Structure 1
């Protein structure tokens, strides 16, 4: 194990898509060591995120996907931390462009590795909740940041535009349930879970549908 620390900030705001708006609480994850860190999903409250970062250098803002509740604090956080580079998967640019006028600094790709504090995050492209949805695996620490792809109790919602139930099931089966069962899953909303806790329920999710 390295000296990686994982901090969680819960922020509150709204999610809007397909003409509807819902109140939501989001998990913002700050991953790094005592010197530098990355933020996974800059949601709602840049000041709260910035406070949690503290004196560390923010190197990157990594977006699990482009829904507005996961990226609506990106611009404000970059204004506070101009050294930070922002990355999202290209397949979610149509969602990004609805919220943020500036282009992201980089594009995430499946298998890409991101160095943080002596450890590595690996990008897992897991489409379904959105076309460009990604998870981030901190393999050496047994930690997965799943965004809205996998929650305690099943896959993320697929009933809205740009989402597909069969695709998210395929992503979870191929990319996530193959991880060690003790892998801790840090979700985009709600409580943590583990691969071992969720894997036995795959057929139940399929039978249940979206």
Structure 2
């Protein structure tokens, strides 16, 4: 049974959906979550945040093939293994938001500019959502499962207990506004949330606390 709780050095978590298999590992000194999304029928994969330990990241991906390497934002703990993983999977397309791509020292083959861009691997399609505030070019990845609740990878923009760290009141307001409008106002409580660090959560578990987060401020 998948719980969303994976510990550094421990076995990966495996979340079995009808079409998609989600594998979660934890890498690096900052315990960054790395996710591999696999179309269970074609085997095609999308990887989110090759943060560190390229051998462990590639082991999580297995035989692939890796089609996309998505970096949710510019901070090094989320791309530390990207160069090595990209070299091992030369046909995979590197993806980041255009506002963060220049700060990622691995060429971004697909620099997205806003909301609604889609990536398809096998017969699985995911949507990219721009969340600005933790960094200017933060991305979330949404899989709107046709057989169940949505699944959402939020990088460092949303965690259990609050939004990600910001460095100014304006950045905090931007991030919380985006998270409310683009995630909570759009998606149901059952939406499963996979953050960039730590345990998973759901939008329903976090929704009652939105007003307290805003009052607490950055």
TM-score by length of 2: 0.85
Shift of the alpha carbon at 1:153? 0.3
Partner of 2:165: 157
**1:184 equivalenced with 2:201 (yes/no):** no
Q: Contact (CA 8 Å) 2:39, 2:124: kept in 1 or not? A: no
Shift of the alpha carbon at 1:45? 1.2
Q: 2:124 aligns with which of 100, 119, 127?
A: 119
Question: CA offsets, 1:107-136, max 9 Å, x none?
Answer: 123101111332211001111111100100
Partner of 2:214: 206
Q: Contact (CA 8 Å) 1:10, 1:28: kept in 2 or not? A: yes
- Residues 1:107 and 1:87: Cα distance change in structure 2 (over 3 Å): same
Partner of 1:61: 69
Q: 1:133 aligns with which of 128, 131, 138?
A: 138
* Structure in which a larger fraction of residues adopt strand: 1
Unaligned residue ranges in structure 1 (runs of 5+): 14-23
**Deviates further, 27-36 or 59-68:** 27-36
Question: CA offsets, 1:42-91, max 9 Å, x none?
Answer: 10111101011111200110111111110111101011111111010011
Partner of 2:109: 105
Question: CA offsets, 1:13-57, max 9 Å, x none?
Answer: 3xxxxxxxxxx1100010022411010011011110101111120
2:107 counterpart SS class: coil
Partner of 2:34: 28
Question: CA offsets, 1:127-169, max 9 Å, x none?
Answer: 1111100100001251000100100000000027xx8101001
Q: Contact (CA 8 Å) 1:88, 1:107: kept in 2 or not? A: yes
Q: Contact (CA 8 Å) 2:74, 2:100: kept in 1 or not? A: yes
Q: Contact (CA 8 Å) 1:2, 1:119: kept in 2 or not? A: no
d(CA) in 2 for partners of 1:2 and 1:81? 26
d(CA) in 1 for partners of 2:192 and 2:87? 32
Shift of the alpha carbon at 1:207? 1.0
Shift of the alpha carbon at 1:94? 4.0
d(CA) in 2 for partners of 1:69 and 1:181? 29
RMSD over equivalenced CA pairs, Å: 1.5
d(CA) in 2 for partners of 1:103 and 1:80? 15
* Structure in which a larger fraction of residues adopt helix: 1
